[in-house]
Structures are given as C-alpha cells and as structure tokens.
Amino acid sequence: MAALFFFVVKRAARPIFARMPKYARVMVDDSGGNAFDYALPEAAAAQLQIGCRVRVPVRTRTVLGTIIELSDSTEFEGVKLISQIVSAEPILSPLLIKLGTWIADYYCCPIEAAMRGILPQVIRNAEVGHKTQLFARLLAPLDPEALSALKKKAPIQAGIVEYLASADKAVAIAELAEKCDATHQAVQALVKKGIVASESSKVERDPFQSETFLHAGKLELNVEQTAIFGRVLAAINLQPPAVPKPLLLHGVTGSGKTEIYLQSIEVVLERGQSAIMLVPEIALTPQTVERFKSRFAATQHEVAVLHSHLSEGERHDEWHKIREGRARIVIGARSAVFAPCSNLGLIVVDEEHETTYKQEETPRYHGRDVAVLRARMEGCPILLGSATPSLESYNNAMEGKYELLNLTGRVDDKKMPFIRIIDMRMEAAKKSAILSERLIQAIKVRLEKKEQTILFLNRRGFSTSLICSACGYVCQCPNCSVSLTFHRAQARIVCHICNHTAVAPAKCPECRDPSIRYSGTGTEKVEDVVGKLFPKAIVKRMDADVMTRRESYKETLGAFRTGKIDILVGTQMIAKGLHFPNVTLVGIINADLALHLPDFRAGERTFQLLTQVAGRAGRGDVEGEVFVQSFTPFHPAIQFARHHDFEGFWEEESIHRRQFEYPPFTHMVLVAIRGPHQARAEFSAQTLARRLKETLPTGTTLNDPAPAPLEKSHGNFRFHLMLRTRAILKLSRALSAVLEKLTFPEDVIVTVDVDAYQLL
Ligand code: ADP
Ligand code: ZN
C-alpha cells in the first residue's frame, strides 16, 4: 500500500484541470492505509482539493477519509459517490502528505498511522467544531428619557442597554449575565423592541486567556551571539533553489541560545513568514511560553502553543489559528513539527538531544529528524540547539552535513558552575549515607546565606526495593520483571512500569518473617532525610507523584522562583531548561543510576543529564557549585561532564561507537516481539529472525533474538531483534515487505522501531 501511495504523491500535487476533476482517491481512516476511488458530487467538484476531509461509503458503513489525489478518470468500475464533505478547506497540505509518506516509508508503518501522527485527533474527527457564543449588540441607543422610563418598568433591560452603550461593541450574553444579571428573556425582550440585536459568533478558546504578557524587548547580543546570529541570517536569506544546511548550535547552558532563537524568529516574521519552535514537552514550562509570549506581545504576532495538556477545544482552535495564518509562531512539543503553517521560514529545535522527541508509539518518528526533513522540503533553515548535542547531530556536523556553530561562554561572562565529584565508596562505610558529609555542609552554607539548593535524583518513591533479610524474597511486580517501589506517603508498593500497586507488606509475603528491609533511595526518601537534617528549611519535592496537576507544577516553580522554597528535591522534571538566579548549589544524589543500564547510550545519557542538571546552578550573580555523588567517579561520562568538555566526550565515545558499529555510525532498528505466552513469543521471534536472515539486504547486521533487558512488562514476555545498517531506507523497505507476508499468533505483537532510543 505504501508503494502505491508513493506513486500517488509523486505526481503534481495540485494538477490543473482543463475540465473539472471527476474522481478522488480517498485514504480511509483506520483502514491500515487503504485508499479507494470515489466519484465527486458534481456540485462540489470545483471546491474540493487534495487534503479535504470527506465521508465515504465503505461496504455497509460510511467512514471518514482524506482526499489524496484528484483525477478525471478512474480505472475502477462502478465507483461510489462521496457521501459528505466534512471540510471543504483542505486540512492537509501536499507537503504534509509527502512528509507522512516519508514517515511511513522510513519508520516502517502504515501510511494511515503516519497521517494519524500528523493530524490531531480533534481535527481528523471533526467532532469538535469552532466554539460559538451568543452576543448582544446595541442597535438603537435610547435617549435619557426613554432610558429612565425603561429603568422603572424593566430595570434589568435598562441595565443591559447601559452596559452595551458603555461597552460600544458586541458583548457575550454570558458576560451580560455576570455583569448586569441579564436573563435570556430580558435580552429577547430588547430584541423584540428593536433596541438590541443578538447574534452568535465564533470565539476562540485560548489556554492563556487569563494571563497578560508584558512586553519584553530584545537584548543586545554579545559578540559570540552576534556572529552566530549572522550565520542564521545568512541561512534565512539564502536564495532558492539553494537549500540551507541545517545549523547545529552547540552552546553551554546559559549561553544565550534562546535569545538567538527569539531574534531569528523575529526576522522570519518580518519577512512575512512563519516559524516553528520545538521544545521537549518537559520544557514547555510557563517560563518558556512566557518568554515567547512577552517578546512577541508588542509585535502583534500571535504565538500558538501546542502541548499535551490542551483541551480538545483549545487544540482545535490553536490548530486553526495556525492554519489560517493568524498565528505565525508555533511553539510546541514533538508533534508541533506537523503544524499546518504555510510559508515556513524557520524551524528551531531546542534541546535537540532530548529523547522525548522520539515518539514511543506508532508512528515512532523522531521529531528532530522529521523537522530536518520538513525544513529541507520547505527549503527553509533549521536551527538545532543544545548544550549537549546528540552524537547523531554532532556526527552530521563533523561530516559536513550540518553547519556547526559554537557558543562557548555564558552570557555576561558568568562562570560555569564548579563541579565536584564525591566518591561515594568512601561514604558508604558510614551508615545510610544518602547525602555525603560535604554535600550536607554545602547545603548548610546555602541556608545561612539564603541561597537556594536543588537536589536531583531520577527515581521516584521512597525505597526502590523491598527485600526479606530472612529468606531473600524481593517484592516483584506480578506483571513485570522489576521490583516494586515503596511509596511511604500512600504506604503502598507500586510498579513503575505498569502501575500495579499493593499495600506494603509488614511481613515477608513468602516466609512471614517480619524482618523485611527497604533499600534503594527515591526522591521521597531524599525529601524525608533532608527535612530531618534541616528541620527549619522549607523543602519541596517535584516529581510525577506530587505534580499530578499542571497547576501544581506551575505553583511549585513559582514558589521556588520567589524564594519561598529553600531546597527543591526532584526528578528530571527539574533538570531541564529552568532558570533560577538564586540557585547556587546543585546536588546530584546518584550519578550512576543511568550509567549501568544495558543501553549503548548509557554514557551519553549520563553525560547529558549531569551537564543539564549542573547547568541549573549559578545562573545569577553568584557562582554556582555542583556536587556529583558517584560510586564510579572516574567513569569518562562523569569526568568529561565535570570539565564541561563535550568535545572530549565525543572523541572518546565515538571511538567505541565506530568500533562496534553503533549509531551514529549506523542506524539501529529494534524489532520487539511480545506476548503473554512466553514460548509463542519466543518462537515468533525466532521465525522472524530466520526469515529476515534470508531476505535482508547486504550490509545489515542482525543479532540473534534475545529476551529484552526488561523481560516482562504488563504481563507480556518480550524479545528483541536488533538490526544495524548504514542504508536505512533499504532496510526499512525490506522489513516492511517481510512483515507484510508473515503472520504471527494472534496474541503476539510485533513492533518495529527505526532509530530506536528505548532499548529496554
Ligand atoms: P540558553 O538558552 O543558552 O540556556 P538563555 O538564552 O536562556 O540561554 O540566556 C540565559 C540568560 O541570559 C537569560 O536570562 C537571558 O535573558 C540572558 N541573556 C541572553 N542573551 C543576553 C544578552 N545578549 N545580554 C544580556 N542578557 C542576555
Ligand atoms: Zn508492573
């Protein structure tokens, strides 16, 4: 099917017909990518375009679909008529259709699934429409005499008339009800008298409605920033058909990357074009959004914000705002790469190394890589920024495919924080040393000086395992091959994979011995320990357990910023992109957590995380200090992070990656096979591996199927097949072809993850 589709979009996207088109090829939703021909209703033929949504009959039902091609003939006989036009305005541009085709091809997924990734649910289903509200407008103002007469007879009606007169515009009935106790009858009475007109009109659901943004002007760029801005401008001004190379901006934390993004976007807007800025979901903090909204407030440019917490109605309205060109700046997470902007002038991907850009469900695309492709299709520049570039992007720069730009210093010559590594093997002798003596002393000093501290640990809960010291029993999840984490606040044990939960046992469930031991540390315990060590300090925790509402996140950050919290304990939620001038100390409780995972990127992840977390310190006038607690203090990832040495890390790490033919020097594809029946899943994995061995293109490395590091999850046994190649498109197509022909037992699920990041 994908092949057919490819052929379809290669033709001119919007053919000019001498006659009116008679037929449309419609890709039907939820059909695995099937497309069928339909006849156009004669009256509507003129207004239908590629990308329009329609309802079409399929067997006995009518279903939604998208027009992907128009023609004046069809090879099929007796084609049916399109039953309904859902939206005459196209919701997909030919370019986005092309992008979807590429995603299907590259990431081995059905074209229909790719399209599902591109179009928000609320737009596809067309169930939520524009919101309309009833408004009232004054038709004939009353003279003072008539008004006072009305006041006596019908005071509410008079109140409405006065309110409308002073408002001098149409006012929502809801507002009238609130401000002058207006009732429906009162308004209707005025309408009957010809004094007032009522009309319904479109209103926008604005997620930031209740907030005002003060204008913040642009900053004067420093020498380094100016040089880089010049390079971005050159890319923006490049004349077609030349297509600018992607720009990779490597700038340490606090070096003023965001300021460059803002000013570059402003240039693009002045040229009448639009811009997309991608940020990791976690970075869509009020802080980032505020910075954008307040910068562009005075320029009258609307900023559309797309993230996962929008209501369906808000998402609908933001999407249409972009599509109609009313908002020409889009800031959003991964899927904002599909924003329906026209005349795109720039894409920015902030924190381009973040793995949250990879979607972990079908379509498993990487937002940054799709952004690079979209920029190429649009012929516009793309700016990737990070303090710790992904090795994929950095390698592209080394190979000359990207242009590398370096920002080496912090703004205003602020010093990089001083990083001290604490060898926890020394501390381990002391009992339950969660915080080393030196870190405790450093916190004490900060409390005395009224400066703030961040303590980082990327693990939730109180204790990460429960072990019986009598029989060695470990409380494991019944559905997953992980131990259960103890959450003291709820007195429950919880699986962090499938959320299975149970009451924390007082005795060993196996041998009934009461000597059950809690071990391993989570953020909840850190909060507890710190609270006991510093009873007067105000300690707050920020992790997925306490931040269950978007507001609580905002509130805690607000309280921290205004100095109402002394010590903030948290997971990666606090690691990224936050800017608090009064934070002078960052403690990383356990730097080794991610280091020993069976993942070839473990070192890279650790390096990135340490650098990002350390970057939260010393963003104000006082120099920052970072304590990194580790049991493997001489690991290169930790040492290079300590010296703020990205190039050094790259040189060391790239040697191993090249030697073992790992990304970025190859592409890795992870085929995962899972099922509730272990033998069936394993057999399927072996069958698939055998078939692949026979058919895969040369140059592909295929490892034998093996149990996944996380052997069981959600009650499913998991097996992995790892493939590596330099020619990824060839491999993707070969894989699709094999999978199309093979059938697996009903309870076995096979997923393909191209350029996989999640290897557990
Ligand atoms: P990054 O995105 O690299 O972390 P930011 O753009 O957030 O860095 O800049 C860090 C801080 O420095 C911000 O508070 C920002 O307002 C300020 N800043 C950035 N550029 C300048 C400049 N040219 N002059 C003065 N302050 C600046
Ligand atoms: Zn579980």
Q: Which residue has the higher pLDDT, 140 or 353?
A: 353
Question: 656 CA distance to ligand 1 centroid (A)?
Answer: 35
User: Which of the listed ranges 90-104, 585-599, 672-686 does the model predict with the highest average pLDDT?
Assistant: 672-686
Within 10 Å of residue 312's Cβ, how many Cβ atoms? Answer: 15
* Closest atom, ligand 1, to C-alpha of 253: 4
3-state SS of 523-559 is: HHHHHHHHHHHCCCCCEEEECCCCCCCHHHHHHHHHH
Edge-first strand order for the sheet with 131-138 is 171-172, 131-138, 196-203
Tell me yes or no: is domain 667-754 CATH 3.30.70.600: yes
Q: What is the pLDDT of residue 20?
A: 77
Pick the CATH number of 414-460+522-656 from 3.30.360.10, 3.40.50.720, 3.40.50.300, 3.30.460.10: 3.40.50.300
Q: Is 603 in the pocket of ligand 1 (CB under 6 A)?
A: no
Q: What is the pLDDT of residue 4?
A: 34
Q: Is 546 in the pocket of ligand 1 (CB under 6 A)?
A: no
Q: Is 253 in the pocket of ligand 1 (CB under 6 A)?
A: yes
pLDDT at residue 371 greater than cutoff 50: yes
Q: What is the pLDDT of residue 213?
A: 60
Kindly calculate the radius of gyration of the chain based on its CA atoms and give it in whole angstroms.
30
pLDDT at residue 54 greater than cutoff 60: yes
Same fold, 223-412 and 414-460+522-656: yes
| SS3 of residue 347 by DSSP | strand
* Closest atom, ligand 1, to C-alpha of 581: 14
Condensed to tens digits (0 to 9), the pLDDT of residues 285-294 reads 667 788 888 8
Q: Average pLDDT in the 502-517 region?
A: 88
pLDDT at residue 167 greater than cutoff 60: yes
Q: What is the pLDDT of residue 615?
A: 84
Nearest to 219 by CA among 263, 264, 265, 268: 263
Q: Is 219 in the pocket of ligand 1 (CB under 6 A)?
A: yes
* Closest atom, ligand 1, to C-alpha of 615: 4
Q: What is the pLDDT of residue 551?
A: 78
Tell me yes or no: is domain 223-412 CATH 3.40.50.720: no
Least confident of 2-16, 42-56, 361-375: 2-16
Residue whose Cα lies nearest atom 17 of ligand 1: it is 256
Q: What is the pLDDT of residue 19?
A: 63
How high does pLDDT run on average in the chain? 88
| Cα gap 293→128, rounded to integer Å | 26
Question: 256 CA distance to ligand 1 centroid (A)?
Answer: 4
Q: Which residue has the higher pLDDT, 301 or 228?
A: 228
Q: pLDDT class for 134, splitting at 50, 70, 90? A: confident
* Closest atom, ligand 1, to C-alpha of 387: 3
Q: How far is C-alpha 745 from the chain's CA centre?
A: 34
| Cα gap 189→196, rounded to integer Å | 9
Residue whose Cα lies nearest atom 10 of ligand 1: it is 254
Q: Is 140 in the pocket of ligand 1 (CB under 6 A)?
A: no
**What top-level class would CATH report for the domain 5-119?**
alpha beta
Condensed to tens digits (0 to 9), the pLDDT of residues 427-451 reads 766 665 799 999 999 999 999 999 9
Q: Which residue has the higher pLDDT, 197 or 407?
A: 407
pLDDT at residue 2 greater than cutoff 70: no
Residue whose Cα lies nearest atom 8 of ligand 1: it is 256
DSSP strands (E only) in 322-426: 327-332, 344-350, 382-386, 403-407, 418-423
Q: Average pLDDT in the 678-705 region?
A: 94
Model-level pTM? 0.85
Report percent pLDDT > 90 for the chain: 52
Q: What is the pLDDT of residue 520?
A: 87
pLDDT at residue 419 greater than cutoff 60: yes
Q: Is 221 in the pocket of ligand 1 (CB under 6 A)?
A: yes
Contact by Cβ (8 Å): 356, 572: no
Q: Average pLDDT in the 576-602 region?
A: 87
Question: 611 CA distance to ligand 1 centroid (A)?
Answer: 17
pLDDT at residue 6 greater than cutoff 60: no
Q: Average pLDDT in the 644-661 region?
A: 95
Q: Is 220 in the pocket of ligand 1 (CB under 6 A)?
A: yes
Residue whose Cα lies nearest atom 5 of ligand 1: it is 256
Question: 365 CA distance to ligand 2 centroid (A)?
Answer: 26
Q: Is 725 in the pocket of ligand 1 (CB under 6 A)?
A: no
pLDDT at residue 11 greater than cutoff 60: no
Which helix (H) or strand (E) segment holds residue 742: the answer is: none
Q: What is the pLDDT of residue 184?
A: 81
Q: What is the pLDDT of residue 365?
A: 97
Q: Parse the chain into domains and list their residue ranges.
A: 5-119, 131-203, 223-412, 414-460+522-656, 667-754
pLDDT at residue 195 greater than cutoff 90: no
Nearest to 385 by CA among 230, 236, 259: 259
Q: pLDDT class for 120, splitting at 50, 70, 90? A: confident
pLDDT at residue 539 greater than cutoff 50: yes
Condensed to tens digits (0 to 9), the pLDDT of residues 697-741 reads 889 999 999 999 999 999 999 999 999 999 999 999 999 999 999
Q: Ligand 1 test: best mutation among 218, 255, 257, 258, most atoms within 8 Å of CB?
A: 258
